[in-house]
Structure 1
């Protein structure tokens, strides 16, 4: 498989492409990374250095790939954090170009907006761009529960309300939705869940809730689920493999005491995940 991945790049730590590319390569995906920023580190540190690329910069890079014939045979376009509306427009342009050369390619969008703790942390114009223009063009989206609520104008908290919100967003365009953090009041104590929904069903999986929030874990989750689902077409299997790999990655990170993902140390967990969590059909 071949992916075009348009995301941020950092030199220290792992977010965006700096989180997604290696796990994808480790499971056999050829990745063409396109950077939207080239920062020293992620912005969670409060200070960073390096340039933000413009939409025109991204278009130039994609054009160069196209001129080499690199947009043929692409299986998926993957995007994450979009720092400005010009980047969003450039991503949509790249998706259109890829689908011209590779009609079977899918667009997988991680609609990065924020979380329930911090609220929306992108500008209003980017919020509107993602909700009104980007998500309707996506085939697969991977919001967290807060982002799902923003996209649908709802407040999902129970399983039923989360499924209802997924149905609402699927009617706008995406056929497949992975909700990356489902926190419902009646879930088993000490767990967190993920929910995958397609046109043929819905599956829920629970893992222990580890005492850490680590930047980049959502980028790894979106990348691995896209790859497994694109390869097999089996949402339940893709969910089980992704949950197992990401939990092991987080387990290693927490045990190390590091603020940054132990991405390299967990490489066998991507290639040979311990399938200890079962994806349960809920619809």
Structure 2
């Protein structure tokens, strides 16, 4: 017997929102390709399904600002500024030249601020004045991995957090590993031991726009802090990952096809 839904079905994107996203996404130059970024650069790794999920998070939780750590050359930053001109977009990068490049390409976009420095230290200032920000953690470059420090800063905040390059258990989607530590659910459990569950982007969901990225695609992890995460549990674009007594990733059907089994 099918499960009985106890809440109304989630509101997905209407045609107007899809058209606006389409224009902002594909009009954003892919400068990351100039720096030999895996997958050729582009906003959100040139994965428009990730943009759909980000839009859903902002809408579901009424986010009042966007923070991006690790802006690189600003492909994602410019997209966010284009797609959400009504929201402040605050970004940073540890590399001074990349931060300067991103700042220059966003000249004239009054809703953006780009800072140079360590994201773990800059986060409190970037969070200032925001009541429920969407925080996109992508500062995965260099010898030092700032993710633990970022999560420690966010622990007591009300925020919706996206961790990029996250292990979701599907061979088509890449993830980062630093000093043999996987960017995945186990790391989240260690950093946020009181968190009962998180979510990952559902790669098998039906999205209103197809992904045109034929190169590297990245998994994404979603953490809801200080807010009710029920909207994600009933949304078809997100898959739940229980964290206790141990993390359990989704059993992807399409993973069998990719791995040839």
TM-score, normalization by structure 2: 0.40
TM-score, normalization by structure 1: 0.37
RCO comparison, higher one (Cα < 8 Å, 6+): 2
